[in-house]
Amino acid sequence: MRLEGKVAVITGGGSGIGRASALRFAAEGARVLVVDWSTRKSQAVVEAITGAGGEAAAFVANVRSAEACRDMIEAAVDRWGRLDVLFNNAGTTRVGQAPDLSEEDWDLVQETTLKSTWLGCKYAIPHMRRVGGGSIVNTASVEGLVGDRDSVAYCAAKAGVVNLTRCVAVDHAHENIRVNCVCPGVIATPAVVNWLMPEAEHQARMGRLHPLGRLGQAEEVAALALFLASDEASFITGAAVPVDGGLIAESGIGKP
């Protein structure tokens, strides 16, 4: 029960890493506001939590909107009286190189991934101050730490999340507000296996790029997010922690 008595807001909570984290946070005692653009998905996660004896509520929001991000934080505080944990997990990607990517796709990725993280921090921090501190966890990526082909918008946005994390951590450490980010490798979420790489051979090939020889699971990222959100990580702030099966530990130079 590492989050017992705490209130958590999770964006992108309807599927993948967000869903796994909402279930795990609730199992560890948190009251969870599950934020997603899809009513069906967010409500399904809430039903799973409450069915297991936890406490949760759904909130539908387009996190590209400042008003929506403000309202989701206020909804959690109005319902439960406080805010202790924010997991800025929402994000999206569009494939393309700089000359080919449309301005609309660039803006969509930056706003959904980077702007929403800033907005979450902007509206959460004043409430965390009032309760003497809190923990913010942001979903970055290994592609925020290294470059990758055909991913200029995504890599730029996730690198922004990494350094935004560091800056906010430094600015608010004196207020006992810790800010860290998780940097997943390729995780077998619905978005990855159904959209980005639906072919089984593509998934297997991508898994082999990781020294552990497989894709990651959403629950493995949720476990790291839980640790960073909890008081067990009380002396960790400003960190960008890979959860990537060793992907960026290896240069690849020695591979045949």
pLDDT score recorded for residue 253: 81
What is the model's pLDDT at position 172? 98
Catalytic residue among 118, 135, 154, 185: 154
pTM score, two decimals?
A: 0.95
Of 47, 2, 7, nearest to 19 (Cα)? 47
pLDDT value at residue 256: 64
pLDDT in tens, the chain (256 residues): 999 999 999 999 999 999 999 999 999 999 999 999 999 999 999 999 999 999 999 999 999 999 999 999 999 999 999 999 999 999 999 999 999 999 999 999 999 999 999 999 999 999 999 999 999 999 999 999 999 999 999 999 999 999 999 999 999 999 999 999 999 999 998 887 776 677 888 888 888 889 999 999 999 999 999 999 999 999 999 999 999 999 999 887 876 6
Residue 123 appears among annotated catalytic residues: no
Beta-bridged to residue 56, according to DSSP, are 32
Nearest to 22 by CA among 47, 39, 74: 47
- Domains, the chain, ordered by start: 7-184+219-244 (3.40.50.720)
Q: Are 181 and 140 in contact (CB under 8 A)?
A: yes
In the numeric block, the tokens 């004896």 are attached to 53
Residues 6+ apart with CB under 8 A from 105: 94, 96, 153
Q: Which residue has tokens 């959690």? A: 76
* pLDDT for position 215: 94
